[in-house]
Structure 1
Amino acid sequence: MSSARALSLQALLDQIPNIVDHLCNQPLTLLGTFPDLPPEFTNWRDEQHAWRESVALFDQSYHMTNLYLSGPDAVLLLEHLGVNSFRNFRPGHAKQLVACSPEGYVIGDGILFSLPDGRLKLVSRPGINNWVQYHAETGGYNITVEKDAWSVVDPNRPRTVYRFELQGPQAPVLLEELNGGPLPEVKYFRIGEITIAGRRVFFLRHGMAGVPGAELFGPWGDREAVRDAILEAGQKHGLRRVGAKAYITSGIEGVGWIPSPVPAIYTSPELRSYREWLPATSEEAIGSIGGSFYSPNIEDYYFTPWDLGYGHLVKFDHDFVGRAALERMATEPHRVKVTLVWDGEDVTRAIRTMFTEPPGRRAKFIDWPLPRYALWQYDAVLNQRGERIGVSTTCGYSANYGAILSLAVVDPAYSQPGTRVTLLWGEPHGGSRKPLVERHVQVEIGATVAPVPFAEHARQYLLTVRGH
């Protein structure tokens, strides 16, 4: 029975033989499907160069869902769900909120803002967003919930706030010019306030592309005036607007954020009521799994916080969902998040099959700059003996480095920079029924392990700003 006929995710699970096989054949990818954001404003190569060489403008107004929580129990709820500490968390602060299942596996993460007006705003993909909303509505908390759903869910629904990113070495100079004077002293991941085109604009100091910059946000009615002022002032600073293609690659080289882990919600007995609450039309029910890694057990797709580089966020100073499991895991060996630099010769050899082999005998098409073809991309990473030692997730071509990079989670013995591994590219058995997957054969692509973030300037920048 199709997910459209099932009323909830749990009803769907009760009706299908295997959730992995179901998700492997789903069409949802969300790759570059943002309203009013074209694939390219100029060309994605120069748009990538801008965040490294001058300044890039990212329009995230249609991207991610904003979930607002207010009321006396808002922080209490998030403390219950988040692995993070909430000590000293107050208005003007932000943090990356991570939530886990009772078994200690990641359900999702997002950026949590403590707004000056006292509300809490969670900006995230559906995984953690739905999880928080469910508990807010069913947990008996004294909380008011407002949801501004991302536009891929309902393109015709107007948004309430805009969000822009200005990133690149010229971003601080441009922001000062727009503000008409020096920026307020704001620490990393803190919220400040400036004025642009006579409008009050909030900004979060951080660097999505691993370079200086800020996220700007304010009421939707101010969006066009603020954007036009940025574009006009940015001309002499080499500003480029970033389209959907370059945008999706920006976090790989500069931050090392894995945006799409499979949410760990499908098997826990304690989460049955949550699965009954989730509709069968949710991303959790119709998102696509893709790649060469395959297991009939959905739990093999789950990640721990340490797998994703979030181990430092886990704080046992409060009680939260998954605490007991994470306390047991804390002393165990953990997989390590790394960057993989794909061998150019092997990549071009795979591309060459488009010209030398008949349909069905070619390698899986490698699109530029986005080879990724599923919402949840999981490619097997092998050692030199052909044994699986990890999985590669989101991937993209970087014009700044002339290479395809991917973020992978590997066994500790293979995590040192310079280690040689092999990535298996293409799906088993000739491919799934996803629309973006043609019949193909699997090929091996050599890769070299590198640090996260990959860009050295990004690593140094993060060390500097987090040193406060």
Structure 2
Amino acid sequence: MPSESLAAALARAGSAVELLRNLSFPPSTFPVKPEFTNWRSEQRAWLDSCALLDQSHHMTDLFVEGPDALRLFSDLGVNTFANFGPGKAKQFVAVAPDGHLIGDAILFHLDEDSFDLVGHPMVLDWVTFHLERGDYKATAERDDNSIVRQSGPPKLYRYELQGPTAAAIVEQVSGAPAPDVKFFNMAEFTIAGKRVRGLRHGMAGQPGFELFGPWEDGEAVLGALLQAGQDHGLVRVGAKAYSTANLGSGWVPAPLPAIFGDDPLLAEYREWLPVGKVGSIGGSLDSDDIADYYLTPYDIGYGKTVKFDHDFVGREALERMAQETPARTKVTLVWNADDVTAAVGSMYRPGPGAKYIEMPKARYATHHEDAVLKDGRQVGISLDVGYLANEREMVSLATIDSALAEPGTEVTVVWGENPVSAKPAVEPHEQVQIRAVVAPCPYDARETYRAG
């Protein structure tokens, strides 16, 4: 039986907010071993030595091929596609007709007329919808993550090496100097006799490569990396530590896709999209208007990505936004240690206490949005929260009123729901207010990340 469409589910629930707040969908999960040692030490590795993160299982790949494949991405992406040839990659960002975010993913230009869009399903679904309804000479093959895939292994393995010794490991395992390629450009290696593609990457201001190739080559490549890594402090990183990597680099992993507006294109999309693809919303933000949960590219630091050198869905709306001073700015919020300790400590006293704060990642819905207050007035949204062992701090990524984005500004994050939703991950609890201080974003490498 076909899955219920989002349009049908909305008609049944009567409200987008009501539907999404009570859906049982969890946050994105990482179907790899939770810890190889312990997540605190594993977090340390990408700053001190080198972390090996297995990305083979938790992201979805959409392979698009054909003479119109590039035109498809250009019609939907806010990015420029000038000089985007094979061997390059970019963070692909798509918006709705009103300029609010649909989502983002990494777009690999593999070969002539051949692309791989890698990320959470939200933006991949949007691209697939437009390919099916449009006049494009292109085809798509989807490889869902290992939780969703019906059978068999992934099509590709994908290993990320990050940290000060990453280049040395690549040189040793390939028997050649690390290639001098620019950020988000690709190179080729021979590892364990296998052809390996590598994307020049960076996380927490440190050098790195994302290595990938056919799944059947993965074990041989992994074995060679682990062997070479013994000389360079290589640490395998499990799902727990990996889930926090974005907090230091400043990437917002799952903004709510802005697909609930009145535009006829969005109405058609909701008829096409199964409700199981939309995800849940969680957190203290409490508005009956689903638009209050939306983000723009400017809210979370993607303004520099927007280029008006081509036509794309949402261009007119973004052109208007670009003429205005950004209303909100992406920041890191450092949560007050005493307030976090009190919230956690409430679990050990008669309840109900504060909403459970899971370690190291505390998000409990697909799209997490907590209200940020200043003097009792909402001034922003806290989007993703977790613990960084290197700093020994609980932090969250947030977008707040630009006038309050100066580091050192004091604000308050509301933690917990009122009313409590029906999501299985939400127990009876009371909302608490946690003080926080604005800090730069990205945070892990606030002095070196942009330069790197």
Query: TM-score normalised to the size of structure 1?
Result: 0.93
The answer to whether structure 1 residue 319 and structure 2 residue 311 are counterparts is yes
Cα distance in 2 for residues equivalent to 1:147 and 1:109: 17
Show structure 1 runs of 4+ deviating over 4 A: none
2:219 to 215, 221, 224: 224
- Provide the residue aligned with 1:346 in structure 2: 339
The answer to whether structure 1 residue 9 and structure 2 residue 6 are counterparts is yes
Larger deviation, residues 93-102 vs 204-213: 204-213
Alpha-carbon offset, residue 6 of structure 1: 6.2
Alpha-carbon offset, residue 159 of structure 1: 1.2
Is 2:297–2:303's contact at 8 Å kept on the other side of the alignment? yes
1:405 to 373, 395, 404: 395
1:146 to 141, 148, 152: 141
2:299 to 307, 330, 335: 307
Cα distance in 1 for residues equivalent to 2:192 and 2:2: 50
The answer to whether structure 1 residue 427 and structure 2 residue 420 are counterparts is no
1:431-442 maps to which residues of 2 (within 5 A)? 431-442=420-431
Structure 2, gaps ≥5 residues long: none
**What secondary structure is seen at the aligned counterpart in 2 of 1:380?**
strand
Alpha-carbon offset, residue 5 of structure 1: 8.5
Letter in 2 for 1:98: V
**What secondary structure is seen at the aligned counterpart in 2 of 1:460?**
coil
Cα distance in 2 for residues equivalent to 1:142 and 1:319: 19
Cα distance in 2 for residues equivalent to 1:228 and 1:32: 25
Letter in 1 for 2:339: D
Alpha-carbon offset, residue 23 of structure 1: 1.2
Alpha-carbon offset, residue 459 of structure 1: 4.5
- Provide the residue aligned with 1:337 in structure 2: 330
Q: Spell out, residue by residue over 1:342-363, the C-alpha distance to the aligned partner (whole angstroms, 9 max, x if none).
A: 111110011111122x232x01
Q: Spell out, residue by residue over 1:163-190, the C-alpha distance to the aligned partner (whole angstroms, 9 max, x if none).
A: 0100011111111111102022211110
Cα distance in 1 for residues equivalent to 2:152 and 2:263: 35
Is 2:68–2:113's contact at 8 Å kept on the other side of the alignment? no
Is 1:389–1:411's contact at 8 Å kept on the other side of the alignment? yes
Letter in 1 for 2:11: D
Letter in 2 for 1:20: V
- Provide the residue aligned with 2:25 in structure 1: 28
Is 1:423–1:447's contact at 8 Å kept on the other side of the alignment? yes
2:174 to 161, 172, 179: 179
Cα distance in 2 for residues equivalent to 1:20 and 1:211: 40
- Provide the residue aligned with 1:369 in structure 2: 360
Q: Spell out, residue by residue over 1:86-121, the C-alpha distance to the aligned partner (whole angstroms, 9 max, x if none).
A: 111100111111000000001010111111354111
- Provide the residue aligned with 1:460 in structure 2: 448
Cα distance in 2 for residues equivalent to 1:396 and 1:95: 26
Query: TM-score normalised to the size of structure 2?
Result: 0.97
Is 2:80–2:307's contact at 8 Å kept on the other side of the alignment? yes
Is 1:163–1:216's contact at 8 Å kept on the other side of the alignment? yes
Is 1:166–1:213's contact at 8 Å kept on the other side of the alignment? yes
The answer to whether structure 1 residue 328 and structure 2 residue 332 are counterparts is no
Is 1:102–1:268's contact at 8 Å kept on the other side of the alignment? no
Letter in 2 for 1:339: T
Cα distance in 1 for residues equivalent to 2:403 and 2:293: 20
The answer to whether structure 1 residue 18 and structure 2 residue 15 are counterparts is yes
The answer to whether structure 1 residue 291 and structure 2 residue 290 are counterparts is no
Is 1:452–1:459's contact at 8 Å kept on the other side of the alignment? no
Letter in 1 for 2:355: K
**What secondary structure is seen at the aligned counterpart in 2 of 1:45?**
helix
Question: Percent of pairs identical after alignment?
Answer: 52
The answer to whether structure 1 residue 136 and structure 2 residue 126 are counterparts is no
The answer to whether structure 1 residue 60 and structure 2 residue 48 are counterparts is no
Is 1:32–1:39's contact at 8 Å kept on the other side of the alignment? no
Structure 1, gaps ≥5 residues long: none
- Provide the residue aligned with 1:379 in structure 2: 370
Cα distance in 2 for residues equivalent to 1:180 and 1:442: 56
Is 2:204–2:449's contact at 8 Å kept on the other side of the alignment? no
2:253 to 227, 239, 259: 259
Larger deviation, residues 154-163 vs 171-180: 154-163
Is 2:78–2:94's contact at 8 Å kept on the other side of the alignment? yes
CA RMSD of the aligned region, Å?
Answer: 1.4
Q: Size of the alignment, in residue pairs?
A: 450
Cα distance in 1 for residues equivalent to 2:397 and 2:275: 30
Q: Spell out, residue by residue over 1:193-215, the C-alpha distance to the aligned partner (whole angstroms, 9 max, x if none).
A: 11111111100001134321010
